[in-house]
Amino acid sequence: MNTFLFMVFLLVVGLLVFAMLARKRSSQDSASGFVDKPKARPPLTAREQAMYNRLVQTLPDLVVLPQVSFAALLTARTRAARATFSRKIADFVVCDRAFKVVAVIELGESKKNRSGASQRDSERDALLTAAGYRVLRYQRVPDVGRVEADFDPSLASVSPLG
Residue 112 shares a structural domain with residue 133 = yes
Q: Specify if 110 maps to a domain.
A: yes
Q: Determine the Cα–Cα distance for residues 32 and 149; give it in Å rounded to an integer.
A: 50
Residue 26 shares a structural domain with residue 51 = no
What pTM did the predictor assign?
A: 0.71
Phi, psi of 132 (to 5 degrees): 100, 10
CB 86 within 8 A of CB 71: yes
What is the domain count for the chain? Answer: 2
Domain that includes residue 18, residue range: 1-36
User: Where does residue 116 fall: left (phi above 0), alpha (psi -120 to 50 degrees), or beta otherwise?
Assistant: left
Residue 28 shares a structural domain with residue 94 = no
Residue 19 shares a structural domain with residue 54 = no
Along the 162 residues of the chain, how does pLDDT read in single tens digits?
Answer: 677 777 767 777 777 878 777 776 665 555 556 678 899 999 999 999 999 999 999 999 999 999 999 999 999 999 998 898 889 999 999 999 999 999 999 998 755 555 667 888 889 999 999 999 999 999 999 999 999 999 987 555 444 544
Q: Specify if 2 maps to a domain.
A: yes
